[in-house]
Amino acid sequence: MSVGITGTGSYVPSKVIVNKDFENHEFLNSDGSRFKYDNPVIIEKFRAITGIAERRYVEPTLNTSDIAFLASEKAIADAGIDKEELDYIIFAHNFGDVSHGQSQSDVLPSLATRVKHHLRIKNSKCIAYDLLFGCPGWIEGVIQANAFIKSGIAKKCLVIGAETLSRIVDPFDRDSMIYSDGAGATIIEQKKDGGEILSHSSATYTYEEAYFLFYGKSYNPTEKGTKYIKMYGRKIYEFAVTYVPGAMAACLDESGVSINDVKKIIIHQANEKMDEAIVKRFYGLYKMENPMGIMPMNIKKLGNSSVATVPTLLDMIRKGKMANHQLKKGDVVIFASVGAGMNVNAIVYRV
């Protein structure tokens, strides 16, 4: 018996925001001063670095827990299980429910509790809890579900990653163009032919790195009180390309699988250039060039939805929505992520 992914689902919001929509924004430096470049130049430089041409924002009537519920319904149906058989609902997010037009986060009750309520699950033995682990939260949730099942205290787990980042971005910060909304969900269970988690690794770096991502004030000096998601982009880039390749390699070596047998690397959709650099350095550790088509990407169309990117990308591949990317039984996949904490993790998975 092995522990694997038997169902996936995702929710991609219908509202499309293209780069051109930011041309009338007033972007400021962190000290409140104006950029010396016009917005079209700023936006084009942004696209060249991140690869993002458009992103998705959630509808005003929906919150993070709502879109997580919609993704979860699809995952449960895809796995063909009875929702009452779920032992755990693990919901990875970072900012709770932030209603449209509001800035205050709502996490009482927990978002996992809200999803269980929306699913109308009666089983009180189904434990629902939230997981705050930055962008790597969904992967960490899968690692926890794997441990629960292998220990014998669970048989079926629902692991969710969802976020509505569009509601906690500073409109005066050009980094606001990076973030998007979305939800992805997976069923993890023990089955004879349901895939297999071969190895995993996680690490948290806090000595100097803890506040590379943080909550900070608006770059508009006239705006008081409200805080927004902020980051030191260059430091994050350097951190990611330094630590993620090694974590992936350590995880792969522990699995006993040859790097030549890896078919896909499904990595957090944070920044196109950064992800390309991570994968290049990973293969460089094995004195190899990375194969063409090894890393599917949807960041160009969907932006960075934080903890939702990896499960959403996996669902799109499984459902045939990513051109030239497929997974078949027996394929080896590496999941990897990096984010606030600063946290890094990876899973080697056989489909």
Across the chain, mean pLDDT equals 95
Can you give the residue ranges of every domain in the chain?
A: 2-193, 198-350
% pLDDT > 90, the chain: 93
Q: 319-325 long-range contacts, Cβ below 8 Å, gap at least 24?
A: 319/8, 322/296, 322/298, 324/293, 325/264, 325/293, 325/296
Which pLDDT does position 37 carry in this prediction? 87
Do 198-350 and 2-193 fall under one CATH topology?
yes
CB atoms near residue 350 (< 10 Å): 18
- Residue 151's SS3 state is helix
| Edge-to-edge order in the sheet of strand 181-191 | 2-11, 181-191, 156-164, 88-92, 127-131
Residue 65 is which amino acid?
A: S
CA angle 76, 80, 86 (to 5 degrees): 50
pLDDT digits (tens, 9 = 90+) for 300-340: 999 999 999 999 999 999 999 998 999 999 999 999 999 99
Domain 198-350 is found in CATH 3.40.50.300:
no
CB contact set of 158 (below 8 Å; sequence gap of 6+)? 72, 75, 76, 86, 88, 89, 90, 115, 185, 186, 187, 188
% pLDDT > 70, the chain: 100
Name which CATH class applies to 2-193: alpha beta
Whether the pLDDT of residue 182 is over 90: the answer is yes
Indicate yes or no: pTM above 0.85: yes
Separation CA 62–CA 97 (nearest Å): 9
pLDDT digits (tens, 9 = 90+) for 69-104: 999 999 999 999 999 999 999 999 999 999 998 878
CB atoms near residue 10 (< 10 Å): 28
Separation CA 238–CA 236 (nearest Å): 5
**Weakest-pLDDT range from 36-45, 242-251, 268-277:** 36-45
Here the tokens at position 158 are: 């629902």
